[in-house]
A and B are shown apart, each in its own frame.
Chain A
Amino acid sequence: QKEVEQNSGPLSVPEGAIASLNCTYSDRGSQSFFWYRQYSGKSPELIMSIYSNGDKEDGRFTAQLNKASQYVSLLIRDSQPSDSATYLCAVNLGGIQGAQKLVFGQGTRLTINP
């Protein structure tokens, strides 16, 4: 079982709709979770971080965390063509002596259709 799993897509969503991205992880001890957006040819950009069970909202983005189910998701409301990118789920698995070791899922390629 991979440490962090995402559906690689592609996920196609019409403009103005809600895009839903999902991620599962294997380490029950994980404490911090991140969503990065990566445009083609660019570096990953942090868009959301979440540490507690429940929802966290920032503008059009909502991150959801369920530690019991080892599940984290990202909702994008009112999707825009500029949201078309690969979305990477990242989980801090904690490495040697607790040092942060960030492990990424394979990424979900999202396309917003005008």
Chain B
Amino acid sequence: DTEVTQTPKHLVMGMTNKKSLKCEQHMGHRAMYWYKQKAKKPPELMFVYSYEKLSINESVPSRFSPECPNSSLLNLHLHALQPEDSALYLCASSLSVWGVQPQHFGDGTRLSIL
């Protein structure tokens, strides 16, 4: 069990659907992250939030829309995804984005686009 909770664990959606991924942590961390991981590849950074503000966007397509409603929650809104977007989506958190704080990952959401 991890202290970063992601829901749902699995999601299957069509290319015209709208869905959201959710991430929650109660460790008092002020930095939260979204990563995408394809099979047999390392995680790739998508977004970084620091104190509920978007800090880094790694040129992610606009069909992915992040949201950080408060310090404990991070959402990733999905719309009009493509089959190549099928992957494991990982949320992580750390004490802050500054310095040397390690990141702790949730269990991920496995997303399949039909």
* Residue ranges of A at the interface with B (Cβ–Cβ < 8 Å): 31-32, 34, 36, 42-46, 49, 51, 88, 92, 95-96, 98-107
* Count of chain B residues near A, Cβ 8 A: 26
Give the nearest-CB partner of A48 in chain B. Answer: B102
| Cβ contact within 8 Å between A95 and B56 | yes
Number of A-B contacts (CB under 8 A): 65
| Cβ contact within 8 Å between B101 and A100 | yes
* Residue ranges of B at the interface with A (Cβ–Cβ < 8 Å): 2, 31, 33, 41-43, 45, 48, 50, 55-56, 88, 90, 94, 97-108
Q: Which residues of B contact A104 (CB under 8 A)?
A: 42-43
Give the nearest-CB partner of B110 in chain A. Answer: A41
- For residue B31, give the distance in angstroms from its CB to the closest CB of chain A: 7
Q: Which of B42, B43, B48, B107 has the most CB of A within 10 A?
A: B42
| Cβ contact within 8 Å between A43 and B45 | no
Give the nearest-CB partner of B88 in chain A. Answer: A43
Q: What are 26 pairs between A and B in contact, CB < 8 Å?
A: A32-B99, A34-B102, A34-B103, A36-B105, A42-B108, A43-B90, A44-B105, A46-B103, A46-B104, A46-B105, A49-B102, A95-B48, A95-B55, A99-B55, A99-B97, A100-B98, A100-B99, A100-B101, A100-B103, A101-B45, A101-B48, A101-B56, A102-B103, A103-B45, A104-B43, A107-B42
